[in-house]
Chains A and B, each alone.
Chain A
Amino acid sequence: MPQNRWLSWLSPLLLVVLWEAAVQLGLLNRIFIPPPSEVVVALAKGLADGSMVADVLISSRRIALGFLIGAIPATLLGIWSGLNRTVYLLVRPLATMLYPVPKIALLPLVIVVLGIGEVSKIVTVAISVFLMVVIHTIGGVMQIDQRFFEVGRVYGANQRTLFRTVALPASLPAIIEGWKLAMGFALTLIVGVEFVGASNGIGYRIWQSYELYSIADMMASVCVIAALGWIITIGLDEVERLVVPWRHTVKESRMPLLKKWWGAVRPWSYTAAIIPVLLGASIAAQQGGLNWLWLALALIGSIAIQGGTNLMNDYYDYKKGTDTPAVKGTGGALLRGEMTPNQIFWAGIIAFAVGSTIGLYLVYMTGPFIFWLGLCSVAVGYFYTAGPFALAYVGLGELAVFIFMGPVMVLGSYYLQQPVVSWPAIWASLPVAFVVAAILHANNLRDIDTDILNHKRTLATMLGRAGARVEFYVLVGGAFVSVLVLIALGLAPWPTLLCYAVAPLAWRLMRTAATEDAAEKLHSVLRGSAVLHMRFGLLYVLGWVIALWV
């Protein structure tokens, strides 16, 4: 149910907001518990000076080498012991005896033998990985249904063929399970190892920030190692999909992970997130210099929020049943069964979390105005299709998009550079607002028939097909007319006339929208509108940038 979901995604965000507020209000001691925004700053600094990346690479190298040195012989030995009684009797007792020993306890011994250098760290990881993998592999081989070997023999397989066609594939799932667990252990272990005998690596970084009492740095490093673990887990899941395809349905295994997410996140829709930010900054630049870091953060945050909105749209459209296979083009990753609703939902949450963390940092640096602006944007993004009063389903979609992806975003980006609420900036955002609303409207125009069937009320269904066409001319035409008006009033510089270079494209789109009824033809209008938005927006921004010199 959407209402319950609403609470479940709000709570982590709320925690971050409350945490930030509690520190800012002095309820928590900043020294012991720094606010999220400081952690973000620490993370940004570490990333910017390259030290964080270097430490992550060093730790990754130790993990990777330790894993390979441990896992490869362990897998081979494990298979051998699973198949051969003598080897089993030699290996298994030793492995089970050593297995419960906390591996970090072996580190001093390893250091005594191998010295405090790089080798001892890698070897400690390797020992842990080795034991984990050996035990899982033996188990995997031993639990093979013996009847499969009989089938092989009946059909004439010799020992080598039996190994290749039965023993190996039948035990692979368990072997990979062992690899996954071992990797988890390796990650934990490397942090511990680097606490003690290291002068670099992510574990060392955590320890050092402890000694310097820099809690924000410490938390930033913890976030990074969590992210590393997450990436490794996803990577191994992919390996499993590749190596054990029969465990998954064919459909799942055939679709590469990246392509799936590319389709769900729809990066090509990001011009709507990028152009207002660029525009706000270039208008502000007329008054003076730019803070490039904040501009970059605003871009990333805006893209994250847009991605989150796309994912949430998919999720709720799917739940409400408004997307049917007839409505192609936009989301649809869920409809094609490439991803589970849960995956989409949580990816949306993560994107929103990234966006809001950056937002919080910008709030921290520039004050509450950005906070309220951001909060409204997130709320609109969320209530766009979710909740009992979904904006998109009561005919307010275009208006919401017009206001928030036009004036609000431009003003936000402007405010980051020049902390005043500038009316000229708001007026100057109107051309972009018109085109972005036109994209959404092109979508509604295309879906007009299916939306009527599904009782999804958009401005297009309310106006009817003829009225909806007029609305499209108004929005596209409005963009071009408003540029002229702004220049005439002295609110935009004359180089912004550049955007008339895409007038032919706009004209073609209006002609198609006027004459075609078929959804496929109108789909090309939708695509064209997105292209128009990007080109028009970039040229308009370029006009403002050129105005800095002329």
Chain B
Amino acid sequence: MQAAPIVFIQAGLTYPNGVEALTDISLTIADQSAVAVVGPSGCGKTTLLRTIAGLERVSVGSLQVAAGAKRAMVFQSGLLFPWMSVADNISYGLMTRGTPAEQCRVIAREWADRMGLQRFIDAYPHQLSGGMQQRVGIARALAIQPDIVLFDEPFAALDAQTRLIMQELVCDLRRQGVCGTMLFVTHAIDEALIVADRIIVMSARPGRIIADLTPQLADVPSADKRALPAFNQAFADIWAQIRQEVDVQMHEGVN
């Protein structure tokens, strides 16, 4: 894998209906790094991930994603396939790439064990709680051993306690080194500080990058960071950056 699997150069994206979602994005993401993206809602965070995932193309400037990089995405609303069992959902990205069924089954079981889902392996998604569903979503992403993992506000719909547990889970997975290069979109600043090392702050729409911080909090990813005095300091810095953008967004009204 090359040094920078994702490179935006003065990229912008305007949707066909004229909405300008991104503008003048220049961003280089290093291999095996964990980057969080925060910003007011509607600022273009999802759009940014979708361009990396290959679901949208930038309309100006350029985006280069390392050739052959395997990409996986965890979606805000889970988007598990309701008609597939937990096991089939987990191994979906393997199955599409031609992995034999027995091997899919073995890997799905491995990931289910790892995520505490062993009892639900044959259940359908609608039988699981929101937190469990997101675990399946994460397992589906990581089971393909991706080079790049894109998280789009995966825990936004979960209750506060479940969120804390899921954040710890992501830290665990990072320590195990299975997340590759990670982009984690969230609107929660504390979440960004816990799961990532580098934080990109975006402006109100059209999304620009207004800050790029690398707070030195801890050597290994861990939810314990929260207790450090530097954590609160970093939180206050980022909040100061975002605050006025949120104000702008509020006065413009949500599209």
Residue of B nearest to A151 (CB): B79
Interface assignment of A154: CB less than 8 Å from any CB of chain B = yes
Chain B residues with CB under 8 Å of A148's CB are 79, 81
Chain B residues with CB under 8 Å of A147's CB are 75, 79
Provided the pairs A161-B96, A246-B126, A250-B127 are in contact, do residues A155 and B79 lie with their beta carbons within 8 angstroms?
Answer: no
Instruction: Report Cα–Cα, A434/B102, bound state, in Å.
Output: 61
Chain A residues with CB under 8 Å of B75's CB are 147, 151
Interface assignment of A152: CB less than 8 Å from any CB of chain B = yes
Most chain A CB neighbours (cut-off 10 Å) among B122, B123, B124: B124
In the complex, the answer to whether A155 meets B140 with C-beta atoms within 8 Å is: yes
Contacting A246 at CB < 8 Å: which of B53, B73, B82, B92? B82
In the complex, the answer to whether A156 meets B126 with C-beta atoms within 8 Å is: no
Chain A residues with CB under 8 Å of B208's CB are none
Interface string of B84-96 (1 = CB under 8 A from A): 1000000011011
Interface assignment of A517: CB less than 8 Å from any CB of chain B = no
In the complex, the answer to whether A250 meets B79 with C-beta atoms within 8 Å is: no
In the complex, the answer to whether A154 meets B54 with C-beta atoms within 8 Å is: yes
Interface assignment of A157: CB less than 8 Å from any CB of chain B = yes
Interface string of B79-114 (1 = CB under 8 A from A): 101111000000011011100000000000000000
Interface assignment of A158: CB less than 8 Å from any CB of chain B = yes
Contacting B81 at CB < 8 Å: which of A151, A156, A161, A250? A151
Interface string of A120-160 (1 = CB under 8 A from B): 00000000000000000000000000011011111111100
Interface assignment of B72: CB less than 8 Å from any CB of chain A = yes
Residue of B nearest to A248 (CB): B124
In the complex, the answer to whether B96 meets A157 with C-beta atoms within 8 Å is: yes
Most chain B CB neighbours (cut-off 10 Å) among A152, A156, A169: A156
Contacting A250 at CB < 8 Å: which of B54, B124, B140? B124
In the complex, the answer to whether A250 meets B122 with C-beta atoms within 8 Å is: yes
Interface assignment of B55: CB less than 8 Å from any CB of chain A = yes
Interface assignment of B71: CB less than 8 Å from any CB of chain A = yes
CB distance from A165 to the nearest CB of B (A): 7
Interface residues in B60-75 (C-beta closer than 8 Å to A): 71-73, 75
In the complex, the answer to whether A170 meets B83 with C-beta atoms within 8 Å is: yes
Contacting B92 at CB < 8 Å: which of A155, A172, A249? A155
Instruction: Report Cα–Cα, A165/B75, bound state, in Å.
Output: 18
Interface assignment of B144: CB less than 8 Å from any CB of chain A = yes
Tally the A-B contacts, defined by beta carbons under 8 Å.
Answer: 55
Provided the pairs A151-B81, A155-B140 are in contact, do residues A246 and B55 lie with their beta carbons within 8 angstroms?
Answer: no
Residue of A nearest to B80 (CB): A151
Interface assignment of A284: CB less than 8 Å from any CB of chain B = no
In the complex, the answer to whether B82 meets A154 with C-beta atoms within 8 Å is: no
- Size of the A side of the interface (Cβ < 8 Å), in residues, is 22
Most chain B CB neighbours (cut-off 10 Å) among A165, A169, A249: A165
Interface string of A238-276 (1 = CB under 8 A from B): 000000111001100000000000000000000000000
In the complex, the answer to whether B71 meets A166 with C-beta atoms within 8 Å is: no
Contacting A150 at CB < 8 Å: which of B55, B71, B82, B126? B55
Provided the pairs A148-B81, A151-B75, A246-B82 are in contact, do residues A165 and B92 lie with their beta carbons within 8 angstroms?
Answer: yes
Contacting A169 at CB < 8 Å: which of B71, B79, B83, B93? B83
In the complex, the answer to whether A249 meets B79 with C-beta atoms within 8 Å is: no
Instruction: Report Cα–Cα, A147/B46, bound state, in Å.
Output: 13
Instruction: Report Cα–Cα, A304/B53, bound state, in Å.
Output: 64
Instruction: Report Cα–Cα, A313/B97, bound state, in Å.
Output: 56
Residue of B nearest to A156 (CB): B96
Instruction: Report Cα–Cα, A147/B93, bound state, in Å.
Output: 16
CB distance from A400 to the nearest CB of B (A): 45
Chain B residues with CB under 8 Å of A169's CB are 81, 83-84
CB distance from A381 to the nearest CB of B (A): 40
Residue of B nearest to A253 (CB): B124
Provided the pairs A161-B96, A169-B83, A246-B83 are in contact, do residues A154 and B123 lie with their beta carbons within 8 angstroms?
Answer: no
Interface residues in B102-159 (C-beta closer than 8 Å to A): 122-124, 126-127, 140, 144
In the complex, the answer to whether A156 meets B55 with C-beta atoms within 8 Å is: no
Instruction: Report Cα–Cα, A155/B83, bound state, in Å.
Output: 17
Instruction: Report Cα–Cα, A169/B140, bound state, in Å.
Output: 19
CB distance from A433 to the nearest CB of B (A): 51
Instruction: Report Cα–Cα, A158/B83, bound state, in Å.
Output: 19
Chain B residues with CB under 8 Å of A151's CB are 73, 75, 79, 81
Provided the pairs A170-B83, A246-B124 are in contact, do residues A155 and B55 lie with their beta carbons within 8 angstroms?
Answer: no
CB distance from B72 to the nearest CB of A (A): 7
Interface string of B40-56 (1 = CB under 8 A from A): 00000000000001110
Task: Provide a sorted-by-A list of 19 A–B residue pairs whose CB atoms are within 8 angstroms.
Answer: A147-B79, A148-B79, A151-B75, A151-B79, A151-B81, A154-B73, A155-B92, A155-B93, A161-B96, A165-B96, A166-B81, A169-B81, A169-B84, A170-B83, A172-B83, A246-B82, A246-B84, A250-B123, A250-B124
User: Told that A155-B92, A165-B95 touch, could you supply 17 new A-B pairs with CB distance under 8 A?
Assistant: A151-B73, A153-B54, A153-B55, A154-B53, A154-B55, A154-B72, A155-B93, A155-B144, A156-B93, A156-B96, A157-B96, A158-B96, A161-B95, A161-B96, A166-B81, A170-B83, A250-B124
Q: Could you tell me which B residues sit within 8 Å of A by CB distance?
A: 53-55, 71-73, 75, 79, 81-84, 92-93, 95-97, 122-124, 126-127, 140, 144
Please provide the 9 A-B residue pairs with the shortest distance between their CB atoms, ordered closest to farther. Answer: A169-B83, A155-B93, A157-B96, A246-B124, A156-B96, A246-B83, A154-B73, A151-B79, A154-B53
